[in-house]
Structure 1
Amino acid sequence: MADQFLEVQIPQQRTYNSIPFPSVLSPNPTTSAVPCSVSHLTETIKTQKRFLDSLLHKTGAVLFRGFDVKTAEDFNEVVEAFGYEEFPYVGGRAPRTNVVGRVFTSNESPPDQKIGFHHEMAQAPEPPSELFFFCEVAPKSGGETPIVLSHIVYERIRHKYPEFVEKLEKHGLIYSLLLQEDDDLSSPIGRGWKSTFSTQDKSVAEERAAKLGIKLEWMEDSGVKRITGPVPAIKYDKSRHRRIWFTSMVDWEERGA
């Protein structure tokens, strides 16, 4: 592996087909006097991009531990170092605030609200291909963001509910949700239509929604019903030659969408 990183183990790791999930990288103190610094990390990411992309493709997730990334500004520098195309957060459901650059708050609903397993913007025709997570202030308890391998989820659900999965593969999903005018911070999917489409103009919202494959039906109370689909619920990962579960259906159903 690249000698700028040390691949380490943590108790929460799992192993599938002899591959650790996630892979965990820490600083290698022998390669630099300041191996933990943000500047050293960003330069290493740029020079070792091919290695990191290969590791991500192999394991599905990469966790960086032990680096001096303390602020949203630090995190943004790390994200930018990867050079991925930016994905604007237009059409998403979670109430979020842009902190700096590409960094947004994760979800501003109360901590007692449960967020079900889902794929980011699975209802969009072209969802983001990579996601980054960062914790600036760790809670005293709870607050974890669990991650799972989608092909494992697909295999287990197909084994237990074969007929249901067959219908999903054949027909896909239609997502329907009522949006109020302004954000409802009591709900994890309570983003209002104004912030969802970054406008206060209904005609502009309709144009932006159409580009995302979303149909809007305006309500008398200034709210709107957004309808998307059908979109695939099961996708085929061509690079890894396997099917993956790719939906937000559990979360939408729980919220009465």
Structure 2
Amino acid sequence: MDQLLSTDMDLSSAETDQRIHDLSGQKQSGLAWVKANVKEINDWVDRDGFALLRGLNIVSTNQFSTILETIFGEQLSQYIYRSSPRTALRNNIYTTTEYHADQVILQHNENAYSNCWPMRMGFFCVVPAKTGGDTPLADSREVYKQLPEALRNRFEERGIMYVRNYGDIDLPWQEVFQTQSRDDVEAYCWKNDIQCEWFNDGRLQTRQFRPAVMTHPQTGEKVWFNQAHLFHCSAVDTEMPDSIGADYLPRNAYYGDGGEIAKQDIDVINQVYRDLTFSYPWQRNDILLLDNMLYTHGRQAYTGTRKVLVGMAKAAR
């Protein structure tokens, strides 16, 4: 899929940004320091919506998972009902989305297309890219506020219908639902208010209806919380609808009543994201903690080798 380039502000200076916490002077191991400072770390995320921990001594993926479980206070979540390719490692740690290095991943709140999403996310930079490869952020509260009122009201009133067709073009259903069983897929869909239909050619189609705007359970603020701009047909190869037919697109987004979303509206949404996006160049061993409802994340295109891992917890509905 073609992705839109984002424009990022560089806020990399730890001397001027209180959301970067330089811990390089700590003599304790990364895990020991985290265990001694759990409340303060969570206070940072509650206060600012995210926190970048820089300079901790972290020696393994297992240590990263233990650090996240210590901070989040629970086991990490499995990633089911996926929308992008990634590799599962131990203890519910995953690689970040494995799209080709020349692609930009648009801003999004994780699993905002689903009725179950993580409230907390943690990213770990094992190897920073040679160039690019940042994980840009944007404040979902500001996205909501800066969208034109008429557009915002239209989405808020009508909601969104996400349509997915699973097969060779996009992820197969076996990977998305992490099962080989059609019965398991149907049970998951029933439990999560997803309409599913099997076709004679073996293709699976799902439809899910979700709000475009949510209220944060702690702050009480409205946030723009959806992936209409990522699922919309304008985000895929422009020649794909003619070659396979609009009904067979791997994914698309409509208003909740089935009405088409105008490309011009998607363009406005993407522009607001671009206007609000900023990034911190990754350094080795950085840990970025996010409130997944308050902040979106994405990925810049990059060169060289890049390895960033992610873990999620505190499921919400």
Report the TM range for the smaller structure's normalisation: 0.7 to 0.9
Gaps of 5+ in 2: 1-9, 237-250, 253-317
CA shift, 1:132, in A, is 0.9
- Which range is displaced more, 213-222 or 123-132? 213-222
- In the alignment, which of 103, 115, 123 is matched to residue 133 of structure 1? 123
| Percent of residue pairs bearing the same amino acid type | 23
CA shift, 1:25, in A, is 1.6
- Determine if the alignment matches structure 1 residue 122 to structure 2 residue 118: no
Q: SS of 1:164's equivalent? A: helix
Contact preservation (8 Å) 1:21, 1:61: no
Contact preservation (8 Å) 2:85, 2:171: yes
Contact preservation (8 Å) 2:34, 2:67: yes
Q: SS of 1:203's equivalent? A: helix
Q: SS of 1:133's equivalent? A: strand
In the other structure, the counterpart of 2:290 is: none
CA shift, 1:147, in A, is 0.9
- Scaled by the length of structure 1, the TM-score of the pair is 0.79
RMSD: 2.2
- In the alignment, which of 150, 175, 187 is matched to residue 207 of structure 1? 187
Query: One-letter code of the match for 2:206?
Result: R
Question: Structure 1 CA distance, aligned partners of 2:31 and 2:160?
Answer: 44
- The structure showing larger relative contact order (alpha-carbon pairs under 8 Å, at least 6 residues apart) is 2
Report which of the two has the higher share of strand. Answer: 2
In the other structure, the counterpart of 2:63 is: 74
Question: Which residues of 2 match residues 228-239 of structure 1 at below 5 A?
Answer: 228-229=208-209, 231-239=210-218
Aligned length: 224
In the other structure, the counterpart of 1:58 is: 47
CA shift, 1:21, in A, is 6.8
CA 1:100–1:85: 2 relative to 1, 3 Å: closer
Contact preservation (8 Å) 2:113, 2:227: yes
Q: Which portions of structure 1, spanning 4 or more consecutive aligned residues, are displaced by more than 6 angstroms?
A: none
Q: SS of 1:110's equivalent? A: coil
- In the alignment, which of 5, 24, 29 is matched to residue 20 of structure 2? 24
Question: Structure 2 CA distance, aligned partners of 1:98 and 1:210?
Answer: 25
Query: One-letter code of the match for 1:242?
Result: E
Question: Which residues of 2 match residues 1-257 of structure 1 at below 5 A?
Answer: 12=11, 23-27=19-23, 29=25, 34-35=27-28, 37-44=29-36, 48-82=37-71, 83-157=73-147, 161-180=148-167, 190-229=170-209, 231-253=210-232, 254-255=235-236, 257=252
Question: Structure 2 CA distance, aligned partners of 1:85 and 1:40?
Answer: 18
CA shift, 1:224, in A, is 1.1
CA shift, 1:85, in A, is 4.8
Q: SS of 1:128's equivalent? A: strand
